[in-house]
Structure 1
Amino acid sequence: MADSAEPTESLVKKEPEVPLNDPIVSRSTSGIMLICALLLTASLAWSLYDEAFGQRPWKGIQQQFVSRYTRYLKSIRPQAGKTEAEVKESSEYQTLDAEAQAALEKVKPDISDIDHKVGQIQRQLDAVTDPFQNQRGRLTVINYNVEIASGSAKDKYRKQAAQKRAELVEVDLPAADGSGKTATQKMNFDQLEKFYNDLRDEKAQLLGQKAELLKEPTELQKKRDDYLKQHLTGLGPTQIDGLIRKMEKFDYSILPHQISVNQYNIVDRCEVCHVGIREPLDLRPADLAPDGPGKKPDNLSRAFVSHPNRELLQIHSPDRFGCASCHWGNGRATTSELKSHGQNKFWLWPMFEKDNTEAGCQQCHSKDRVTQGAETLNLGRDLFAQRGCMGCHRYEGFDRETDALGNTRQNISQLEDQITANEKQIRLDTESSGSVEDNSEAQRLLAHADSLRVTNSLLAARIDQLNLQSKYLMQDQKKVGPNLKDVRLKLRKEWVPVWLSNPQAFRPGTKMPTFWRFATPAENGGPVMRDKDGEQQIQAIAAYLWQDSFEGQLPEQQRGDAAHGKELFESRGCLACHSIGEGDGLIGGTFAANLQKVGEKANFDYIVRWIHNPRERWAPYCPKEKRDLTPEDYSKHNLPFVFDTELHSRCPNDGAELQVQNMTVMPNFRLSETDARDIATYLFSLSSPPQYENASFMDSPELREKGHALIKQYGCAGCHEIKGFEDEQRIGKELTVEGATPIERLDFALLTKKAEEGSDPLGLHPQEKEKPWYNHKGFFEHKVTEPSIYDQGKEKDPKDRLRMPRPYLTPEWRAALTTFLLGSVGSEGSNVPQSLFYTPEDQRRQDIQNGWWVIKKYNCMGCHQLQVGQRSVVMDLPFYQTPEGKDLLPPRLTSEGARVDPGWLLKFLHDPSLSGEKTPAENAAITKAEQSATGGSAPQAGTENATTAKAAPTGGKLKAQPGLDRNGVRPYLKFRMPTFTFSPNELQTLVRFFMSMSGQQEPYIKEPLQPLTEQEKLVARQMFTSGTPCLKCHITGEPAHDEKAIAPNFLLASERLKPEWTFRWLLDPSQISPGTAMPSGLFRKEGERWVINLPNPPASANEYHDDHARLLVRYMFLMTPDEQRRLLATAPVAPAASAQPAQKAQNNSQSKGREVGSNRARRSRQARRATIARSTTFRTNARAPGM
């Protein structure tokens, strides 16, 4: 490379001699630095404040709680001390304390002597323990070496072990006199081990003697302390002092109050602020008021209260579930109330409001029919089922019979198609086998044809089972509303359009909702939009219902005795479901219709027939032919027009199972025709038929066609049975998981902005004005209150407008139904994992829930108490408020499963009259014989549900009732246990329900009872007749006595009752059934047996040394009619039973008779409770004994 001529210096860029302006050195930046420093300092201070206080507002809340709670504890401590002192000063406590002290003083010398000996032994044990354990440890090491050594080494270690066992060890043993002196002794290992074990054995023996001596004093002390705990109304001073100390050491942080359940990924911090939720005191807002207990509370006071239901909290421990799992909200948030309560619009689980708290129960207990402790939710479920919601909206589990019936019929259809296809294939195989040349192929085809024939026989057997199941399901299937195929037979023609226009105007509170689309604004009373052709729609629907209903002539009935009908209506059980009266004068239940105005709408002849047997159907319906059958369908097969649930339930044309009874839950009270006529006469006397406008338009064929389309559009068949709509599907949306629907998919229509701003056109919550209701609760409340509100201002074609009618709902009902819908979120919408859902695996709990569906379906709780504390409807009726009336209440069923034999219960539920009539097969044979003799085809008496499509007048004669006009177990009760015609499905479900509710095992096998000896019979007979009140109250078979009896016949006991329950019942009836008139104190404990508690017991009883109560149980269960007559012959005369003292009973006897019409031979039974004619005082209460 050639050298460059250019000097090197020219290639280097020179720095200027004078530097340019440096922004750092040319001007001051101190101001900027100061500002930055100040900003940094301010941000640091803000971040420290936010970390310590802004992000921890709960610290101040906790400080307030500690201050207020401590003040409250100090305020109640003096009263707590006073309460404890008062209990300790009571004579009962003093007696228990004296007994405990006396027992302790009695054994104190022996205890002192034992303690002295144990002390001496312990000192010697302490001295010998270390030497013994050291030698034993060394021997253990040598023995281990022996085990692992081999050959000559084993002998070596064995010699070492022998030397170690023979080695003498010095032990300094303390003197036995306790002087503290010691004596040195030398012992080898064997002596040392024996000495050590002897000391331990002697010590254990002495301690055992001490425990035995202290047994009685300890038990008495425990009894005394338990008495103190039971009689203290609250916490004692010591416990309150402990709570005060707990507040003094309160940890103001999150971790002690945070709940973390890693198994379910639950982190919950609700108790960081709600600190008092699990405190052992019942804290109220006023207790923790800022100005002191009893002053005006603030919001924090309400946040500090304890949980309102401690029993529920024990079942759902926050340590397992947290709080937000049930209440919703954001359990992890602690920076603000808004965030922690989940009120952020992006949070999917906002906390339920107070009225809807139980919605959280539904998400985990969605398969329950009754959830204990969730009364609002249970009411919501009842309303959904009973007010007709499930007629339009499917909800999983509700209307299960209809769903199961649809599935069963679909399975039958599929199996029949399979049989048809198989038969076709059989023919093809058979024909092909004759044309093939290969013999083996022919054999294969024939074998395949035989296989298909066998398959078809199995499929046919399966179809038989499904047909039987469909028969039972049709028995179970019930509609919310009445059968509208009977409109012509039942109703006044002119009344039908009046009812359709506004049901609430005619019958306030009725289940039938108001169809606002064809009701006038005045009738609606709300912001609704009526269809322009609303009046024509009413006329069209009325025309279809009238023209497409049964025609015929009912047996003509004469008016009866209204006064007697009133007595029957009030006493037989009608008011358990129905009500009469209006406004403040209304009495009865709300399960079924108010009957005050039945005379304004109905045909008297039909009502008599309905009261006589509500299940009696005019004509059977064939689901396969999809039509109601006529007498011609039977006559062409030479069959009488007879149909019932027993032997005549199949279609004569195709063999399909028929619907043979009305789909109503109303049971058959087995009334005589005269009684049914009297009740109908009374109901018709309550009102006078008004004059209605002419309704000749109901005969128009054009209106009928339009009515067919409207009935389909409005979904009337969801609640009613209507001709031509038997298989109609629901028209509404499924609501099983409606609560999980995103808020954006709930159509608030043109009210979205008003909902967000809190403008409520309905004013549902006037106390919370301007509160936004753009949430699930707001949507549901407005939807069920006034469905038409979401059509306001909308321009729609009439067919596209909302169809949901307006139901009648009280504010309480609206809250309950909203609660039910809010909790209907399913597994996808729940805020807890599905593994926490209540899905009981044990059969007992499943049986209980299955049974509740049937119990609620038939309103069993209208008459009976099935839960402790639950009041039945009849308990509040005026008729049952007197002492005599209370004796006539239906029996309490809280322990029915433990009381009765399940086999007997099944029989009783099938036929509550226990009539012992002929079987259906025998009745059918009699019917056929009578028809052959007379040449007629009309159904005869004794055939259940037998009816004709066009019955001729029969002089008012109705079909004979199944069973007798009586109660099977308690004939003295005026209240009637009706015949429900339960299917085998429901019978089994109910029996298992009662057994499971009482914790009984399945199957139940009754143990045989030991026969009575003649001596035992004599003892039991004398106890029965010498002072116990058994024969005074129980039915004996003597008419004069039984007229006033208030308890069942002993002859039923062996078949009906369980021996062990009967034994417990005899000992203390009030513990099993509080309020029963069956006296307690009949027996007293004497050692390990129970003896009769009489002032002068029979001599034979004193000589009988076994258990008297068990003897009486055996005697009752082995009683015969002859034995009962013998008892009556030897018993003192006691014709009447009365719970009143003798003086009161005599004064009241004049007012207890009730006369009925002299033209009828009826008897009025007066039930009185037992008078115990002896000096021993028995505890009695105002309820019938009724085992």
Structure 2
Amino acid sequence: MADSTETSESLMKKEPELSAQDPIVSRSTSGIMLLCALLLTASLVWALWDETFGQRPWRNIQQEFVSRYTRYLKSIKPQAGKSEAEVKESAEYQTLDAEAKAALEEVKPESAEIDRKVAQIQKQLDAVTDPFQNQRGRLTVINYNVEISKDSAKEKYRRQAEEKRQEIVEVELPAPDGSDKIITQKMNYEQLERFYNDLREEKARLLGRKAELLKSPTELATTRDDYLRHNLIGLGPGQIDGLIRKMDSFDYSILGHQISASESDIVDRCEVCHVGIREPLNIRPADLAPDGPGKKPDSLARAFVSHPNRELLQIHNPDRFGCSGCHWGNGRATTSDVKGHGRHKYWLWPLFERENIEAGCQQCHAKDRVTQGAETLNLGRDLFYERGCVGCHRYEGFDRETDTLSGTRQNTTQLEDQVIGNDRQIRQDTEAANQAGDDAEAQRLLAHAESLRVSNSLLAARIDQLNLQAKYLMQDQKKIGPNLKDIRLKLRKEWVPVWLKDPQGFRPGTKMPTFWRFGVDRDGDDQIKAISAYLWQESFSSKVPDQARGDAAHGKELFETRGCLGCHGIGDGDSQIGGSFAANLQRVGEKSNFEYIVRWIHNPRERWAPYCPKEKRDLTPEDYSKNNKPYVFDTELNSRCPNDGAELQVQNMTVMPNFRLSDRDARDIASYLFSLSSPPAYPDASFMDDPNLKEKGHGLIKQYGCASCHEIKGFEEEQRIGKELTVEGATPIERLDFALLTHDAEKGHDPLKLHGDHSEKPWYNHKGFFEHKLAEPAIYDQGKEKDPKDRLRMPKPYLTPEWRNALTTFLLGSVGTEGSNVPPSLFYNPQDQRRQDVQNGWWVIKKYNCMGCHEIQVGQRSVLMGVPFYQTPEGKDLLPPILTSEGARVDPNWLLRFLNDPSLSDQRRPGIATTTEPRPGNVAAASASQSENTRQNESTTASTTASAGTSGNGRLKPQPGLDQNGVRVYLKARMPTFSFSPNELQTLVRFFMAMSGQQEPYIKEPLQPLTEQEKLVARQMFTSGTPCLKCHITGDPTHDAQAIAPNFLLSGERLKRDWTFRWLLDPAQIDPGTAMPSGLFRKEGDRWVINLPNPPASANEYKSDHADLLVRYMLLLTPEEQRRLLATSPVQPAASTSSQTEGRLRQKSSGNLAKRIHKTKRAPTVARTVGRVSKRAPGM
């Protein structure tokens, strides 16, 4: 059934009919459109601004740099022109310029003629080149066809090639006379080729001739220009113009200043803002001040400065290391200085503060003992060792002897166990062989037993070597503090608790830290009593024999001149003089036993009793007597334990050397020290004899780690109590316990006011933690309720603000590989032996404070240089020698012997002083020393071996050497005997060799013997105007009493030939300020001749090198020749160089100054001539 249409429609509800409205027609949308357009436009403007400036804030900074730097360059350009003009007006430049111009004028006509001929030839070449090359090209094509064709075709192309060779070509050539006339010539290929090659050959010949002509003028012009460049201070006008042009085309893109080192994954953009870092000018903040050069600088001016140390940039090329590798910070961030400097709590490597900038050196140079140019870091390393930090805290590299000794003993134990095991196996194999069922099995077992016996012999050899190494390592091992086993022998009983309570109160600046805070540690007095009791009761109870008082006035002279002040200080407060490496001795008389101090001064290495590390105790005379051995122990023949054969500790573990003083001198110095103060009345200390306190003291000594710095009975093998600090700088900040001061540190509230009252800078970082820990170690216990034994144990050291900053710098840089922000491949790990020898040597140099007396580095001042005596005119001549070129100066074999025995007491050469004949030098002193030694030898029958011990009675034993210097006997300062082990001797020799760039092994160059004629010439040069004999020791007692230079007889075995040659030419270049005169020789052709107005006739006739002859004469000098030399010309009193000779040398050499400067690199600077005689001893 069909649906009804009407019904469907009735069921549907119709919508009301409305008129359709178009939104565009019905109402206006212009407001919305305008708003949208404005928003889009604003967004576009913002996007463009953000793209150009918002994301590139450095553009404004760079524009400011370009503006200021250009202004600065323009301001200094006139002055640069004046500087260049001044150099060009100098006599030397005028001479060089005149020579260059004269040489050029001399060859100018011939050179011009060559230029004319070359120009004409070139015109002909230009005309003939195209025709020749066209014909040659066509022939090449035909010849190719000949090569690839066959049979008749090949003959066809050969005919074509011949026809092409005979083809006539017309060439239009310029006339040979140089006129504009054109000549047409007809030539076949052969003629064309010959003509072309002839022209080229002629051109080459002419140009070669021109180069030969211009060689001399060019060299002179180069010398002139080099003189200008070397003497021009700063940049010249042309160079400044180049920098201005560079600013005009400055690259403002980030890529133009980005450093990208792909091999080490370093991307660094620091130079985007620090634009002036690598500029050739030395830019200071005031130079780029906003108001003009010389005005007050702003923060941008400080950011635009050049790098303060260009030498470091040459070594650490930023293109390889970047900037943040050394300075830390976020080198990739450029949107703000806060981000770029890494001042974000989640960034691990924030920029180092200015005062700690050298911490970056430590992360790569962690294996160095001395890093050149990092003075703050080097000071931090020194303090870490010298102030006792290394006693409680292990730091990799600072325990070289201890770690090596521990490894040696461990290896020895393992090998001994292996020997025991082999012996047991040998017995088992032998027994099994006796019971074997057949001969083959028995032979196998016996063969195995035999092989084990051989193995044991080899193991025994290795054990012997390890024992020897252990002996040397124990000789090298030193303690920071004194040996407290001698406390009864050395100290006043009542003084000990006073010292423990407040070390700084008795001796301000001492290394001994303060352990007790009596406002907090209520039991501090009881602990001090207990520790004092243990130390007193566990020390040697013998008595040092009495010593008579000596001459305090003479002792004062010895103390101030022998070298004691190189390490020790004397005086209080501002009146203190001397060094700080060792204790100030102003109040030593208030605490010490006079007899013990005499013994100590006489030989500080002399030990009261030897210590056996195997038995872990000090040996007694009974240990020796029961083994039928004398109670003698030393470092040479008597270093083994009489009970078990183990190597003994036979020396006091102190770095103080033996000055080889006589008994009388030791008593005089001790008397002087005791005259400086008188013992006060100390409180009663009878409690130190209480045995109950002793047991408590044992636990406290263990708790506080006293044995880390001191040798204490019962604690010889005690381990450190502090944490290892090798990578302390890499410790996460969350693991540094700021305790209750965390919020104060974050807000910048500093309870110690380390940086002033107005400094409210947050210190919740590694720097803040280290600084506060060093300044007040107990600060992180503030407000905590702790049991006394749980409190922080670190004592309070004496540290100046400079020292605290140096130690902080050292710790900040101690990050290891895991905390470094550069890959390990960039760490300084030298593979060449020379650099390793230098660093190994620095450990020994620093250990014994060699720099207290000697200048080791160029420009480094020794402590003795600041002592009043050595600042007087006579004292300056008596300073110890400079060692900056020691490795180049002396034979390493001789140096090894000298370091082992500085008195050279084993010398047996005629003319050189020995143990039976006083050295020429200070004869009176030598005689006194000899007679004193004679009395000493008569008064004792003890072993003469160095450091030998007797029955423990403390008698003064014979010294290991002579009571004088071995080379410079005229010096009052004494080179002491350090008792170096063979390890340290080799290390020092290799150090000096490496510092001077010398090769190992050293092979001594043979010297050509002197003829009689050469001896005559050299002898006359010695005595005809040169002042050699006026300063050097000669053997004449009257003269040598005032001598200030060594005896020439030592030169042959001591000095190197090449160094001696350079020394004669220009000693001031090697040792600035030396009394050795310069200008003794002048350059004449390819040889050096004596620089005298009237040289000896024999010298004029001698056609070889005069300087080399004098070197050979000195190195081959014999006592007989020296006596003949002195007989030829009796010498005048030493150090009285004639002003007439001095003037002659100056006048003779000054006229040749410019020539010698530019013709040779070895020429002496005559401005530093004989006039320096009064400044310092020659020191050859």
1:24 deviation in Å? 11
Does residue 423 of structure 2 align to residue 423 of structure 1?
yes
Q: Is the 8 A contact 1:1066 1:1080 kept in 2?
A: yes
How far apart are the structure 1 equivalents of 2:808 and 2:103?
A: 63
1:539 deviation in Å? 0.8
Q: What's the counterpart of residue 288 of structure 1?
A: 288
1:511 deviation in Å? 0.8
Matches within 5 A, 1:590-609: 590-609=580-599
1:56 deviation in Å? 1.9
Q: Is the 8 A contact 2:873 2:1174 kept in 1?
A: no
**Identical aligned pairs, as a percentage?**
78
How far apart are the structure 1 equivalents of 2:167 and 2:13?
A: 103
- The equivalent position to 1:650 in structure 2, one of 623, 626, 640, is 640
Q: Is the 8 A contact 2:1077 2:1171 kept in 1?
A: yes
The one-letter amino acid of 2:73's match is L
Q: What's the counterpart of residue 224 of structure 2?
A: 224
- The equivalent position to 2:622 in structure 1, one of 632, 645, 650, is 632
Structure 1 stretch 1134-1143 or stretch 992-1001: which is displaced more? 1134-1143
Matches within 5 A, 1:687-836: 687-766=677-756, 769-836=759-826
1:700 deviation in Å? 1.3
How far apart are the structure 1 equivalents of 2:154 and 2:663?
A: 107
Does residue 99 of structure 2 align to residue 122 of structure 1?
no
Closer, same or farther: CA 534–158 of 1 in aligned 2, 3 Å: farther
Q: What's the counterpart of residue 1093 of structure 1?
A: 1091
How far apart are the structure 2 equivalents of 1:698 and 1:739?
A: 43
Q: What's the counterpart of residue 203 of structure 1?
A: 203
Q: What's the counterpart of residue 948 of structure 2?
A: 946
Q: What's the counterpart of residue 234 of structure 2?
A: 234
**What secondary structure, in the 3-state scheme, does the structure 2 residue paired with 1:295 have?**
coil
The one-letter amino acid of 1:834's match is P
1:361 deviation in Å? 0.6
Closer, same or farther: CA 12–1185 of 1 in aligned 2, 3 Å: farther
User: Could you say what the CA RMSD is over the residues aligned between the two structures, in angstroms?
Assistant: 2.8
Matches within 5 A, 1:910-921: 910-916=900-906
How far apart are the structure 2 equivalents of 1:312 and 1:378?
A: 16
Q: What's the counterpart of residue 1002 of structure 2?
A: 1004
Does residue 831 of structure 2 align to residue 841 of structure 1?
yes
- 1:534-555 per-residue CA deviation (whole Å, 9 max, x = no partner) reads 1111111111111111121212
How far apart are the structure 1 equivalents of 2:18 and 2:391?
A: 92
1:253 deviation in Å? 2.2
1:172 deviation in Å? 2.8
How far apart are the structure 1 equivalents of 2:758 and 2:154?
A: 94
Q: What's the counterpart of residue 935 of structure 2?
A: none
1:63 deviation in Å? 1.8
Q: Is the 8 A contact 1:640 1:939 kept in 2?
A: no
Q: What's the counterpart of residue 461 of structure 2?
A: 461
- The equivalent position to 1:1070 in structure 2, one of 1068, 1075, 1079, is 1068
Q: What's the counterpart of residue 962 of structure 1?
A: 960
Structure 1 stretch 4-13 or stretch 1034-1043: which is displaced more? 4-13
The one-letter amino acid of 1:995's match is M
1:894 deviation in Å? 0.8
The one-letter amino acid of 1:884's match is E
- 1:82-141 per-residue CA deviation (whole Å, 9 max, x = no partner) reads 222333333433333333222222221111111111112222222233334444445555
1:145 deviation in Å? 6.0
Q: TM-score, normalised by structure 1?
A: 0.91
Q: Is the 8 A contact 1:939 1:947 kept in 2?
A: no
1:37 deviation in Å? 6.0
Q: Is the 8 A contact 2:1073 2:1172 kept in 1?
A: no
1:27 deviation in Å? 10
How far apart are the structure 2 equivalents of 1:66 and 1:981?
A: 63
How far apart are the structure 2 equivalents of 1:724 and 1:1020?
A: 67
How far apart are the structure 2 equivalents of 1:380 and 1:983?
A: 27
The one-letter amino acid of 2:942's match is Q
Q: What's the counterpart of residue 1124 of structure 1?
A: 1122
Structure 1 stretch 112-121 or stretch 443-452: which is displaced more? 443-452
Matches within 5 A, 1:879-958: 879-916=869-906, 940-948=942-950, 950-951=952-953, 957-958=955-956
Closer, same or farther: CA 1083–1179 of 1 in aligned 2, 3 Å: farther
How far apart are the structure 2 equivalents of 1:687 and 1:1143?
A: 52
Q: What's the counterpart of residue 518 of structure 2?
A: 520
Closer, same or farther: CA 999–153 of 1 in aligned 2, 3 Å: farther
Does residue 473 of structure 2 align to residue 480 of structure 1?
no
The one-letter amino acid of 1:811's match is P
- 1:1033-1057 per-residue CA deviation (whole Å, 9 max, x = no partner) reads 1111222221111111111111001
**What secondary structure, in the 3-state scheme, does the structure 2 residue paired with 1:185 have?**
strand
Structure 1 stretch 231-240 or stretch 1070-1079: which is displaced more? 231-240
Q: Is the 8 A contact 1:287 1:293 kept in 2?
A: yes
Matches within 5 A, 1:378-457: 378-457=378-457
Does residue 110 of structure 2 align to residue 110 of structure 1?
yes
Could you tell me which runs of 5 or more consecutive residues in structure 2 were left unpaired when the two chains were aligned.
909-914, 916-939, 1143-1168
Closer, same or farther: CA 1133–835 of 1 in aligned 2, 3 Å: closer
- The equivalent position to 2:666 in structure 1, one of 655, 666, 676, is 676
Q: Is the 8 A contact 2:1074 2:1172 kept in 1?
A: no
Structure 1 stretch 72-81 or stretch 532-541: which is displaced more? 72-81
Q: What's the counterpart of residue 1171 of structure 1?
A: none
Q: What's the counterpart of residue 1149 of structure 1?
A: none
How far apart are the structure 2 equivalents of 1:299 and 1:186?
A: 80
- The equivalent position to 1:585 in structure 2, one of 556, 559, 575, is 575
1:276 deviation in Å? 1.2
1:439 deviation in Å? 4.0
1:735 deviation in Å? 0.7
How far apart are the structure 2 equivalents of 1:246 and 1:351?
A: 30
Closer, same or farther: CA 1128–56 of 1 in aligned 2, 3 Å: same
- 1:775-807 per-residue CA deviation (whole Å, 9 max, x = no partner) reads 000000011111100111112222221111111
Closer, same or farther: CA 436–1081 of 1 in aligned 2, 3 Å: same
How far apart are the structure 2 equivalents of 1:1100 and 1:970?
A: 33
**What secondary structure, in the 3-state scheme, does the structure 1 residue paired with 2:1015 have?**
helix
**What secondary structure, in the 3-state scheme, does the structure 1 residue paired with 2:783 have?**
coil
Matches within 5 A, 1:1077-1156: 1077-1138=1075-1136
Q: Is the 8 A contact 1:552 1:949 kept in 2?
A: no
Closer, same or farther: CA 1081–531 of 1 in aligned 2, 3 Å: same
**What secondary structure, in the 3-state scheme, does the structure 1 residue paired with 2:256 have?**
helix
Closer, same or farther: CA 1065–950 of 1 in aligned 2, 3 Å: closer
Structure 1 stretch 145-154 or stretch 856-865: which is displaced more? 145-154
**What secondary structure, in the 3-state scheme, does the structure 1 residue paired with 2:197 have?**
helix
**What secondary structure, in the 3-state scheme, does the structure 1 residue paired with 2:1044 have?**
coil
How far apart are the structure 2 equivalents of 1:1177 and 1:620?
A: 55
Q: Is the 8 A contact 2:569 2:576 kept in 1?
A: yes
Closer, same or farther: CA 436–1109 of 1 in aligned 2, 3 Å: same
Q: TM-score, normalised by structure 2?
A: 0.91
1:262 deviation in Å? 1.4
Q: Is the 8 A contact 2:58 2:272 kept in 1?
A: yes
Closer, same or farther: CA 167–436 of 1 in aligned 2, 3 Å: farther
1:415 deviation in Å? 1.3
Q: What's the counterpart of residue 305 of structure 1?
A: 305
**What secondary structure, in the 3-state scheme, does the structure 1 residue paired with 2:1082 have?**
strand
The one-letter amino acid of 1:1184's match is A
Matches within 5 A, 1:340-351: 340-351=340-351
- The equivalent position to 2:1176 in structure 1, one of 1162, 1183, 1186, is 1183
Closer, same or farther: CA 574–403 of 1 in aligned 2, 3 Å: same
1:142 deviation in Å? 5.5
1:457 deviation in Å? 2.0
**What secondary structure, in the 3-state scheme, does the structure 2 residue paired with 1:1084 have?**
strand
Closer, same or farther: CA 40–124 of 1 in aligned 2, 3 Å: closer
- 1:605-633 per-residue CA deviation (whole Å, 9 max, x = no partner) reads 11111111111111111111111111111
Q: Is the 8 A contact 1:1081 1:1178 kept in 2?
A: no
The one-letter amino acid of 2:1043's match is A
How far apart are the structure 1 equivalents of 2:150 and 2:467?
A: 82
